[in-house]
A and B are shown apart, each in its own frame.
Chain A
Amino acid sequence: MKALLELSNVGMKFDTPKGTFEALKDVNLKIDAGEFVSLIGHSGCGKSTVLNIVAGLLQATDGGVILDKQEVTEPGPERAVVFQNHSLLPWLTSFENVELAVKQVFKKTKSKAEIRDWVEHNLELVHMAHAMHKKPDEISGGMKQRVGIARALAMQPQVLLMDEPFGALDALTRAHLQDSLMEIHAQLGTTVIMITHDVDEAVLLSDRIVMMTNGPSATIGEILDVNVPRPRDRLALADDPTFVRCRQQVLQFLYEKQRKVEPLPKRTDAATGAVRKRA
């Protein structure tokens, strides 16, 4: 079978004030329809760059991406993106946010009633039907991310691209969303590429884990097949030998082979927006 998505010799050079910076070099990857693939690697190695190239938001400077026999040259709804910080339009309700996407993709093929049903269906899929007329301000971070996923799913994409979708959430919320995502993937068979920095998340969700080397000139270091049967249960897997071995291998790659000494991380997240001056 021919792969649905193919990255061949993808390279990316950025022009910076200090000269050219080669972020990616020779990235080769084939993904089959229905596969769930995770991208993992240390921060700054180029994961988002890979995803944005597939999304069409960035143009690779070398090589290219082919989706379903067509070269990717620009963004489009057949490659829906779930952004890390939800990226919902704050002035629209959850329903309207999803509706905007659905109208854009299906305005020629669906009637008004069908559009409404389809929006509601996708919000139900992510368990957000109860709050669909609330604005992003009025719902929690996890709920916003669910709506973001519903918006992406509602476009019926060939590939669902997720850039650290649960990175900003607390552990419990994250576990809930991971379960929802597994459920949806089982139900719809969507092809998914997900960036994560969470080893457990990668092993739990993926069919394959793509491990990237450190930049500059980052590329794919190893690819690990996760041969754990689905449906997967996070509690039962905790001491499943295959699961434990996969986890071990990813950890080894990240912390032995691609060991990275990082400077103390700056707490930028706490500094922004926490203090709002009173008018």
Chain B
Amino acid sequence: MVTLTFPTWMEPYRALATGKMTGDQWQALLRQLIWPVMGIAIFLLLWQLAAQRIDTSLGQFPGPVDVWEQAGSLVDEHQASRAKEVAFHERQEKYIAARLQQQPEWEPVYRDYTGAPTFFDQIGTSLITVMSGFLLASLIAIPLGIVIGLSSTAYAAMNPLIQLFKPVSPLAWLPLVTMVVSAVYVTDDPMVAKSFLTSMFTVSLCCLWPTLMNTSVGVTSVSQDLVNVSKVLRLNALSHVRKIVLPSALPMMFTGLRLSLGIAWMVLIAAEMLAQNPGLGKFVWDEFQNGSSQSLGRIMVAVIVIGLIGFLLDRLMLMLQRALVWDKSSVQR
């Protein structure tokens, strides 16, 4: 049987609806809804006031209302572009059908629609790139972190390199990655674009470190008592890692993964801007170069969307962490 229960955060609203509010629930309502809304309202007000006083070479700095309008027009543009794409495919179908009727032996050629990517296409590209880069980084960082954590030799060997490369900015890696990808990735029939690989590798290189460090610290800090249990049970090396080390290190590992994903998202936008690789970063750069009176408003939309996506990605990791980690006290907001 399924019983419907309200999540605790919804309690105050239910109480409000039924007219039975306790003092604590008022407090909760203030904390969850009223204070945040007030905060945002004050911010919007200050933004509007400040915007009116800033004149740029591209016109007045956009206030919240301008930005809202630009967001609307970005949605419109996206829908218009989709409509065009549908129309293109319909035309192509018609043309092919007509020609096949006259010339049944003709091999039809289907072409893809090649319109400029819209704002939402760019969001999609960025999301795919960031997740790929983050996954690749995790696939490298977690095993490596385990090895470093388990073996003091491996730690001694790698620590100087880690310390050296950890603080490197994505902007420094980018030219190198671009050149290497161009040199190494030569095929006639590329499965993915070079620009995608460049962005992805740059993201991986930069977001590797928190996962690596946290995993290795998590592994080193496995309690000696549990190691003794493993010894008394004569667990072999593989079982020891799987049954004792990995679960012990999981809370730390997740802390690292969350940090990594945050860095990955920041790095990606910078890399896309600098390298003109498809994605939100390129959108911002193009608008900047474009320099129309709407550009600043559109960039501001992008800024807000970038922030929102970063926030959602972090929430996603938090949910994963809550679901997978046994040590609930290690899960922070």
Binding site for B on A (CB under 8 A): 55-57, 74-77, 79-81, 83, 85, 87, 89-91, 100-101, 104-105, 135, 155, 276, 279
Q: Is the CB of B333 within 8 A of A279?
A: yes
User: From residue A59, how far is it (CB to closest CB) to chain B in Å?
Assistant: 12
Our pick among B225, B239, B326, B329 for the contact of A91 (Cβ within 8 Å) is B326
User: From residue B252, how far is it (CB to closest CB) to chain A in Å?
Assistant: 14
User: Can you list 17 A-B contacts (CB < 8 A)?
Assistant: A55-B232, A57-B228, A75-B228, A75-B234, A76-B234, A77-B232, A79-B232, A81-B232, A83-B229, A87-B223, A87-B226, A87-B228, A87-B229, A89-B247, A104-B234, A104-B239, A276-B329
Number of A-B residue pairs with CB-CB distance less than 8 Å in the complex they form:
54
Which residues on B sit within 8 Å (CB–CB) of A135? 326
Q: Is the CB of A83 within 8 A of B225?
A: yes
User: How far apart are the CA atoms of A19 and B243 in the complex, in Å?
Assistant: 37
User: From residue B125, how far is it (CB to closest CB) to chain A in Å?
Assistant: 35
* B206-246 to A contact mask, C-beta < 8 Å, 1/0: 00000000000000000101101101111100010001100
Our pick among B228, B235, B327, B333 for the contact of A104 (Cβ within 8 Å) is B235
CB-based nearest A residue for B325: A91
Which residues on B sit within 8 Å (CB–CB) of A155? 233
User: From residue B205, how far is it (CB to closest CB) to chain A in Å?
Assistant: 31
Q: Is the CB of B232 within 8 A of A279?
A: no
Q: Is the CB of B244 within 8 A of A83?
A: no
| 13 further A-B pairs in the complex, CB-CB below 8 A; given A75-B232, A87-B228, A279-B333 | A57-B228, A57-B232, A74-B231, A75-B231, A81-B229, A83-B225, A87-B229, A89-B226, A89-B229, A104-B233, A105-B233, A155-B233, A279-B332
Q: Is the CB of A87 within 8 A of B225?
A: yes
Contacts A83-B225, A89-B247; A76 near B232 (Cβ below 8 A): yes
Which residues on A sit within 8 Å (CB–CB) of B233? 77, 100-101, 104-105, 155
Which residues on B sit within 8 Å (CB–CB) of A91? 247, 250, 326-327
User: How far apart are the CA atoms of A121 and B229 in the complex, in Å?
Assistant: 21
User: How far apart are the CA atoms of A80 and B247 in the complex, in Å?
Assistant: 23
* B20-34 to A contact mask, C-beta < 8 Å, 1/0: 000000000000000
Which residues on A sit within 8 Å (CB–CB) of B232? 55, 57, 75-77, 79-81
Which residues on A sit within 8 Å (CB–CB) of B223? 87
User: How far apart are the CA atoms of A104 and B236 in the complex, in Å?
Assistant: 10
Our pick among A77, A81, A83, A90 for the contact of B234 (Cβ within 8 Å) is A77
Our pick among B228, B243, B332 for the contact of A83 (Cβ within 8 Å) is B228
User: How far apart are the CA atoms of A135 and B329 in the complex, in Å?
Assistant: 15
User: How far apart are the CA atoms of A263 and B121 in the complex, in Å?
Assistant: 72
User: How far apart are the CA atoms of A101 and B332 in the complex, in Å?
Assistant: 33
Q: Is the CB of B231 within 8 A of A85?
A: no
Which residues on A sit within 8 Å (CB–CB) of B239? 104
Which residues on A sit within 8 Å (CB–CB) of B229? 81, 83, 87, 89
Which residues on B sit within 8 Å (CB–CB) of A74? 231, 234
User: How far apart are the CA atoms of A259 and B234 in the complex, in Å?
Assistant: 40
User: How far apart are the CA atoms of A55 and B234 in the complex, in Å?
Assistant: 12
Which residues on B sit within 8 Å (CB–CB) of A89? 226, 229, 243-244, 247
CB proximity to A under 8 Å, residues B229-274: 229, 231-235, 239, 243-244, 247, 250
CB-based nearest B residue for A104: B233
Q: Is the CB of B231 within 8 A of A57?
A: yes
Which has the most chain A C-beta neighbours within 10 Å: B223, B231, B233, B244? B233
9 shortest interchain CB distances as A-B pairs:
A91-B326, A87-B225, A279-B332, A75-B231, A91-B247, A104-B233, A75-B232, A87-B229, A81-B232
CB-based nearest A residue for B235: A104
Which residues on B sit within 8 Å (CB–CB) of A100? 233, 243
Which residues on A sit within 8 Å (CB–CB) of B247? 89, 91
User: How far apart are the CA atoms of A263 and B247 in the complex, in Å?
Assistant: 39
* B277-305 to A contact mask, C-beta < 8 Å, 1/0: 00000000000000000000000000000
User: From residue A66, how far is it (CB to closest CB) to chain B in Å?
Assistant: 19
User: From residue A167, how far is it (CB to closest CB) to chain B in Å?
Assistant: 14
Which has the most chain B C-beta neighbours within 10 Å: A80, A89, A279? A89
User: How far apart are the CA atoms of A12 and B166 in the complex, in Å?
Assistant: 44
CB-based nearest A residue for B232: A75
User: How far apart are the CA atoms of A259 and B317 in the complex, in Å?
Assistant: 58
CB-based nearest B residue for A81: B232
* B313-331 to A contact mask, C-beta < 8 Å, 1/0: 0000000000000110100
User: How far apart are the CA atoms of A89 and B244 in the complex, in Å?
Assistant: 8
CB-based nearest A residue for B329: A276
User: From residue A255, how far is it (CB to closest CB) to chain B in Å?
Assistant: 31
User: How far apart are the CA atoms of A55 and B225 in the complex, in Å?
Assistant: 13
User: How far apart are the CA atoms of A81 and B327 in the complex, in Å?
Assistant: 25
User: From residue A162, how far is it (CB to closest CB) to chain B in Å?
Assistant: 13
CB-based nearest A residue for B234: A76
Which residues on A sit within 8 Å (CB–CB) of B332? 279
User: From residue B307, how far is it (CB to closest CB) to chain A in Å?
Assistant: 22
User: How far apart are the CA atoms of A219 and B234 in the complex, in Å?
Assistant: 30
Which residues on B sit within 8 Å (CB–CB) of A105? 233
